[in-house]
Structure 1
């Protein structure tokens, strides 16, 4: 097969797997059971699986055909952070499989989720360490380059923490205890890394503005570690007690104490990102694969708010979860429609599919 006929498949394509998987997981997590939710969860899970298979296969062909592609992507400061999407795509589909498909597939769903968790966690830890090391030693990074995309390589351990918590009921003894502690360690690592990066993103916006219009959707990526942090805390409260020898009530108090402030800042940032995006859209917001930032980060707000609603019994938080789910469905429709239209248009023009993620300054 000629390399000229193989379309580039950079890692940001896994964002479509993330964004579709979270629809299934969020539908399952909602504290209010609405008509059609189960059907939405199953359809999203099936679509996410099909997208994952297609992207993995296309990636394998691309990397096998172009032996220099992987090195080129890793050395490109605009592309390298999106290897976090590869890890989170595997993790997100694994979680969706566990919560949606287990009633039908049984042990096969659990085994699949476990294998995807191990693979995604290993890759996520590699990106959380390796991509920052490349940024510090090999990349040439401009002073105004900070964007929400910088969070992509360091957030996967937080996604692993949430997914790992869901696997705890399937383990016991020392294995369960080790996994519980690993989840807490990974959540802490991703959380502190996020705290280190958020001031840089805020400072860049304050001093250099929003940057190129095509990069504006990356602002929504900031929501990911916030919502996922609230989700991970809630799931650990639900499932880690027996492994840690800690009363569930104590863990629930901790989860609520952690989750509410995270959700508060997430809503603040959602208002900021939404306002900037709306302003940019009125001026002209070109499509890019960064549109998938309207999906997974918002989905984590659904799961985080759902967990908080369950733990507090607050009707307002349940309503927030439903509202965020509606926003998630809208974001998914926009991203999916834009992706299909762009692929068709490029095919007609004989161009490659988008092969560079949209980031600040691009």
Structure 2
């Protein structure tokens, strides 16, 4: 069955476009490449929405896949951010605002509904926490980054800016709680199943996205908030951004070491491999934003290096996904009349 985890492919593709569009260097063909990736992400979003409408399932009873309901709102807003950065004129602003609104509303619903379901359904084990637990609480931070881009395009951006700061609080504090649980699980219960190892990279998502968001909020605060708040927003962008970027790089080193160790004994491909793309992309945009803000050659070089890693990861994961679709192991053919009622175990495991 078709689950919400497929929207992660849209996120991973869209972040490549956004990262390329905001990279703090000017390279021949970079803007054209970013535009192509944005168009590809848009086409993929439409395809996944249609497929989900026809054959999708909520996976509401699956404690793993239900977490990935955070992916649809983030997919909408990632494409929306690319539309605003790369799309044509006024249409780009309108389309981005529509996608931001839809993604923000859905993201807030998911941010409440999925944790509520986890808190009211008994049966969780002490070692249950994994990177996917961050998926439901990260969408509000994606709303912040995209909303900050929209602030200059609305008549009175103050309320939108303040709303974005409130959304940042929701996502940031909830993410810190979950990251602590993931750390505790790793220390006390070790890594766990190989197929779940890629989800460790999801931790980079709220870290990188929050740095990007506070950078964009600081930029949007100019002319919208009065001093000292506008100046304070500029200070927060650096004083928060650099330390959190440091922790993101620290976590990336841990996740990379664990991934390499696991790959030596076998790392089966699944849609969780898209966790190698979007979270890394948020660190690229974070580093690029700080490089632009500070003028640091070191951060500029780091942003380019991380973008190369992102592009390599996207190429590998996209190729493996296409192969899985062609072999009908990820996107199986429509069920025949004789098999139109799949078992629960089949619905849960296909496409993980």
TM range (shorter): over 0.9
Question: In 1, distance between residues paired with 2:141 and 2:187?
Answer: 27
Q: Which of 118-127 and 200-209 deviates more?
A: 200-209
Matched, 1:171 2:154: yes
List per-residue Cα deviations over 1:38-57 (Å, max 9, x = no partner): 12101110110110000000
The 5 A counterparts of 1:151-300 are 151-173=134-156, 176-246=157-227, 248-300=230-282
Aligned to 1:305: 287
Question: In 2, distance between residues paired with 1:170 and 1:17?
Answer: 25
* Matched residues, number: 341
The 5 A counterparts of 1:281-360 are 281-346=263-328, 356=348
Question: In 1, distance between residues paired with 2:224 and 2:24?
Answer: 25
Aligned to 2:15: 22
Match of 1:93 among 79, 100, 103: 79
CA shift for structure 1 position 266:
0.2
Matched, 1:54 2:52: no
Taking a change above 3 Å as real, the CA distance of residues 230 and 282 of structure 1, as seen in their structure-2 partners, is same
Match of 1:106 among 89, 99, 111: 89
List per-residue Cα deviations over 1:115-163 (Å, max 9, x = no partner): 0000000000011111000000126322211111000000000000000
Question: In 2, distance between residues paired with 1:112 and 1:156?
Answer: 18
Aligned to 2:67: 81
List per-residue Cα deviations over 1:50-103 (Å, max 9, x = no partner): 10000000111124xxxxx33xx12321111100001100011100111111xx
Structure 2 contact 70–135 (Cα < 8 Å) conserved: yes
Structure 2 contact 324–331 (Cα < 8 Å) conserved: no
Question: In 2, distance between residues paired with 1:296 and 1:59?
Answer: 21
CA shift for structure 1 position 358:
10
Question: In 2, distance between residues paired with 1:330 and 1:74?
Answer: 33
Question: In 2, distance between residues paired with 1:333 and 1:349?
Answer: 19
Question: In 2, distance between residues paired with 1:93 and 1:75?
Answer: 29
Aligned to 1:10: 3
Question: In 2, distance between residues paired with 1:113 and 1:357?
Answer: 34
Structure 2: runs of 5 or more not aligned = 336-345
Structure 2 contact 2–331 (Cα < 8 Å) conserved: no
Structure 1: runs of 5 or more not aligned = 1-7, 64-68
